[in-house]
Structure 1
Amino acid sequence: MAQRARLTVHPSFTVGEIDRRIFGSFVEHLGRAVYTGIYEPGHPTADADGFRQDVADLTAELGVTAVRYPGGNFVSNYVWEDGIGPVADRPRRLDLAWRSIESNEVGVDEYQRWAAKTGTETIMAVNLGTRGADAAAALVEYCNVPGGTAWSDRRRANGAEEPYGVKVWCLGNEMDGPWQIGHKTAEGYGRLASQTAQAMLRADPTLELVACGSSSREMATFGEWERVVLEHTFDQVDYISLHAYYQERNGDRASFLASGASLEAFITEVVATADAVAAKRHSDKRIRLSVDEWNVWYIDDFAGEDNLELAERPRLAEDAYSLLDAVVVGDLLTTLLRNADRVAIACLAQLVNVIAPIMTEPGGEAWRQTTFHPFALTAKHARGVALEARTETPGLATAKYGEVPALASAVAWDEESGSLVFLLTNRSKEPLETTLSHAGFGTARLAEAVTIIADAGGPRRDAASAALATPQPVDKVRVTDAETSVTLPPESWTMVRLSLGA
């Protein structure tokens, strides 16, 4: 028998404006994300710069707005100067993070050309593992100073007359993690991040800076790490990061479907810590969040950095995703939108081949994984402001997180276009007869209703099978000006989009 739920929204009650950078992604020099991912000279679709047009087209369809680059763990032993100037003169380096050979064919300038072609904003990370303030400030000078200095003139000599204007910069990556090259204590990282931020802001005072938060909520240092780091960097940074990966373990399907509840708690706890630091300083500044790595990742199947064979552009972490994974990705994205007042940036990790919504074969085709679809639909339609949603829902018992709401949701209202979008996850095994109450918005009609239903089958491992995973229309959606009724299938992610006005 179907359970019942109700969700009520009103235009007067908003969470906050939806920052378009929530629909970000991540390209790291890891595995085949760059080489045979976005970049493959000689591919039938490659442009004059060697970038695959089929991947660029799928990136645009996915709706990606910003991309974090070049890492990730890779950045913590990266010498950015290796990737500029004539390609033939660039050194081949051993990347210590992933035990890979880095050719440096793609560096800052090549990547910025790809970003311009795809219309994506670059979120640049700097190496605070083996390097520090000097190298970071020099990179800012190379990217952002118009000319007349050593590094800016080097950029111009390398073919980029105009500065790149990169605004958002990550102060290192996962420096709390013992796996990280140059891993530091919170105190050590906080001091270095503050010193580096000072130098970078002298090079370009308009930068927006991201301090490293915890690599996961399960880190033993979580909470205290954020407090100490922000005590050092509070006046200089705009954001603190959090990284969150989820997977189904031991057949615990309910807990996996409740991953969004864990992310919700993670966000709430980081916000509380940041605001406590602000209160101690008697400051009304509010640090916002950059969830600049998030996804489903079957990390238990990954060999681990210490066990990798030395190789060039190896196939690493090329997870193939099921419809169950797609439902969870949709729910995680819904969680980010529900916290739009504090989550400003989010990067689905990663874009191509490495735990990615887009897969490629060298010299061959590119295709959409199941996880492509909830992201693309949300990025396309969730605009304007996020609304508060009063939700009445049954609970769902989970082994890992206790009882969580069976219905998770986010609602986006774009007054300019007259669009009201409900993103709904039914985490339970039963159908959920759901009433969406939207009195106060005026005339409403159904524009679209589609769903992704978790299956019991395995991943879709190629273009042909992945094509079977496209979202399906929802039957029997009833719309009046006051409310909409829809039955959410078991273990599903659903988008209901209404058009408001005449």
Structure 2
Amino acid sequence: MSKQAKLIVDKDFVVGEVDKRIYGSFIEHLGRAVYGGIYEKDHPQADEQGFRSDVLELVKGLDVPIVRYPGGNFVSGYNWEDGVGPLDQRPRRLELAWRTIEPNWIGFNEFMDWCRKANTDAMMAVNLGTRGPDEARNLLEYSNHPSGTYWSDLRVQHGYKDPHNVKTWCLGNEMDGPWQIGAKTAVEYGRIASETAKVMRWVDPTIELVACGSSAIGMPTFPDWEATVLDLAYNDVDYISLHQYYGNREKDTANFLAQSVGMDSFINTVISTADFVQAKKRSKKKINLSFDEWNVWFHSNESDKKLDPWQIAPPQLEDIYTQEDALVVGCMLISLLKRADRVKMACIAQLVNVIAPIMTTNGGAAWKQTIYYPYMHASVFGRGEVLVPLVSSPKHDTKDFTDVPYVEAVAVHNEEKQEVTVFAVNRHLEESISFDIDLRSFGQGRILEHIVLENDDLSASNTGDAPNRVTPHTNGSAALSDKGQIQAVLNKASWNVIRIKL
């Protein structure tokens, strides 16, 4: 084992505090995310409202702080009024974004009930595709106003006396995408986002608002879109959104594992663009980032092309994830943490069945996909302050990237628990790498555990029949050296969590 890497961190050199919402997720009315995912009224483990309790337990295991809803592309054609009130009076609609039928069995109030059961908050999106400021302010009044007005009293009439008090709102979704219902130019969107934000804040001044950024880094509109939208709506919004998915269509694993290098660049470009607008406006206000769609997505592309349209909850976007995918998700989580000073919210897309860490069968089991584990580890152990990571690592080149470090790593200091957690990925496909951790100013610590997610078969995945084929173990090698440093071996193609008690 000739290759060596090192991480140096100091308690006084801090990137930023982790906003717990960086570990958010996403539920869209798409495929089996809702129907057959969080909700299946005839399932043996359905509760009195039809929510799957087995899925709820897996969601709770992730400690998800916020869930974006109801879309996604779906929201740009959605009438929120269809999903409230008596079930037998709710319409069935043609859902044009994904070419299905939406029965509206689950709507706003039911989702809020599910959030309470899952110990999470809602990040609601409003429709700025076919609708606009009027519908957005009405939904906010329905959600957050106590009573005594038309929409708030309608909520009370529907059985919800207390306001839902949703505090985080997305102003549309991917509005620069030609696939989007009601797609807009940057100027068109910037104006409607500004006006929608204005009236929503008049209804409830305590909310936070997310403006749509470009739909992906490869969009021809990027980053002019961000600059124009923020120029028009800077004073009205708090966040700009980012979306990015990665896939290994060319079966080039080394290049696939390097994709988070591009994610780092994407994040930094959006920060630079937001700060340019801030400078241009001589503003003291800082716009932060909401990376509210991110994941691996490519496995299901071909099968999705073969689906017949106008079904209710067909199996769409059901990627079955591998060990290789889990490593990419781990690297993406590290990318988010490395910019915790500006990335304050993020949503792995999505939560159940649809490109998701949790899978189910209708009427049957629910299980953890490979990507469940790095997401869970980061959410559970990655709370506190991110320390500036000085990483030295051997590097390599791939088809799309140069100087890719074999080792990606970041450390989070939880002062309350007196712990430091190091997250590290070894991208090398053939060799283990010796890894030293220098905690410098923290003094001596002891190893609580070294968790490793690895598999000799990078294509190995979990299924309903074999739900534990890829699972983490705690037999990692991290130990204290004579000099008080921590020494570990990062096995080839592995995700590592090293927890240190100070």
What is aligned with 1:489? 491
CA contact (8 A) 1:368 1:463 kept: no
Structure 2 counterpart of 1:493, one-letter code: W
- Structure 1 residues 122 and 87, CA, compared in 2 at 3 Å: closer, same or farther? same
Maintained 8 Å contact 1:22/1:347: yes
Structure 2 Cα separation of the partners of residues 271 and 119 of structure 1: 31
- Which residue of structure 2 aligns with residue 438 of structure 1? 439
| 2:7 partner SS | strand
Supply the distance in 2 between the matched residues of 1:404 and 1:82 (Cα, whole angstroms): 49
Q: Distance in 2 between matches of 1:174 and 1:307?
A: 24
Q: Distance in 1 between matches of 2:202 and 2:174?
A: 25
Instruction: Look up the equivalent residue of 1:91 and give its one-letter code.
Output: P
Cα distance in 1, alignment partners of residues 380 and 458 from structure 2: 28
Deviation at 1:58, TM superposition (A): 0.3
Contact 1:77 1:97 in 2 (8 A): yes
| Residue 396 of structure 2: aligned partner | 396
Which residue of 1 is the match for residue 38 of structure 2?
38
Q: Would you say 1:230 and 2:233 are equivalent positions?
A: no
* TM-superposed deviation, 1:413: 0.3
> Deviation per CA, 1:239-298, whole angstroms, max 9, x where unpaired?
000001001121211111012111111000000000000000111211110000000001
Contact 1:172 1:212 survives alignment (8 Å): yes
Compared CA separation, residues 300 and 400, structure 1 to 2 (3 A):
farther
SS at match of 2:141: helix
Counterparts in 2 of 1:287 and 1:304: CA distance versus 1, 3 Å: farther
Give the whole-Å Cα distance in 2 for the aligned partners of 1:448 and 1:475.
8
C-alpha displacement at 1:473, in angstroms?
2.6
Output aligned runs, 1:212-231, within 5 Å: 212-231=212-231
Matching residue's letter, 2:234: F
CA distance in 1, matches of 2:317, 2:60: 23
Compared CA separation, residues 265 and 308, structure 1 to 2 (3 A): farther
Deviation at 1:114, TM superposition (A): 0.4
Structure 1 CA distance for aligned equivalents of residues 407 and 129 of structure 2: 42
Q: Which amino acid aligns with 1:485?
A: Q
Q: Distance in 1 between matches of 2:150 and 2:125?
A: 21
Amino acid at match of 1:471: P
Query: Are residues 134 and 299 of structure 1, via their aligned partners in 2, closer, same or farther at CA, if it must alter by over 3 Å?
Result: farther
- Structure 1-normalised TM-score? 0.97
Q: What is the aligned-residue RMSD (CA, Å)? A: 1.5
What residue in structure 2 maps to residue 426 of structure 1? 426
1:349 matches 2:388? no
Runs of 4+ in 1 over 4 A off after TM superposition: 302-308
CA contact (8 A) 1:409 1:423 kept: yes
Percent same amino acid among aligned pairs?
47
Check the 8 A contact 2:300/2:317 in 1, yes or no: no
Q: Letter of the aligned partner of 1:296 in structure 2?
A: V
1:62-81 equivalent positions in 2, closer than 5 A? 62-81=62-81
Q: Residue by residue, what CA displacement relative to the aligned partner does 1:9-50 show, whole Å, maximum 9, x if unpaired?
A: 010000110000011000000000000100011211111111
Query: TM-score if structure 2 supplies the norm length?
Result: 0.97
List per-residue Cα deviations over 1:126-149 (Å, max 9, x = no partner).
000000000000000000001111
**1:498: which partner in 2?**
500
SS of the counterpart of 1:463? coil
Letter in 2 for 1:275: D
Opposite residue 26 of structure 1, the aligned amino acid is F
Equivalent AA in structure 1 for residue 103 of structure 2: S
Report the CA distance shift for 1:311/1:366 in structure 2 as closer, same or farther (over 3 A).
same
* 110-119 or 293-302: bigger deviation: 293-302
Contact 1:327 1:454 in 2 (8 A): no
Q: How many residues align?
A: 500
Aligned with 1:245: secondary structure? Answer: strand
Q: Can you list the C-alpha shifts for 1:40-69, whole angstroms capped at 9, x where unaligned?
A: 112111111110100000000022111000
In 1, are the aligned partners of 2:455 and 2:470 still within 8 Å (CA)? Answer: no
SS at match of 1:61: helix
Which residue is 1:311 aligned to?
Answer: 311
> What residue in structure 2 maps to residue 462 of structure 1?
463
Pair 1:376–1:102, CA change in 2 (3 A) = same
**How far apart, in 1, do the equivalents of 2:82 and 2:301 lie?**
32
Contact 1:240-1:287 at 8 Å conserved across structures: yes
Alpha-carbon contact 2:460-2:469 (below 8 Å) kept: no
Pairwise mapping of residues 20-35 of structure 1 onto structure 2 (< 5 A)?
Answer: 20-35=20-35
Greater displacement, 308-317 / 236-245: 308-317
Aligned 1:33-432 pairs, distance under 5 A: 33-298=33-298, 301-302=301-302, 309-429=309-429, 430-432=431-433
Query: Which residues of structure 1 form unaligned runs of 5+?
Result: none
For 2:374, give the aligned amino acid. Answer: P
> How far did 1:151 drift?
0.3
Contact 1:366 / 1:463 at 8 angstroms: preserved in 2? yes
Structure 2 residue runs without a partner (length 5+): none
Distance in 1 between the 2:471 and 2:84 partners? 41
Contact 2:25 2:348 in 1 (8 A): yes
Distance 1:175 1:412, change over 3 A: same
Whether contact under 8 Å (2:123, 2:170) holds in the other structure is yes
Query: 3-state SS of the aligned residue for 1:235?
Result: helix
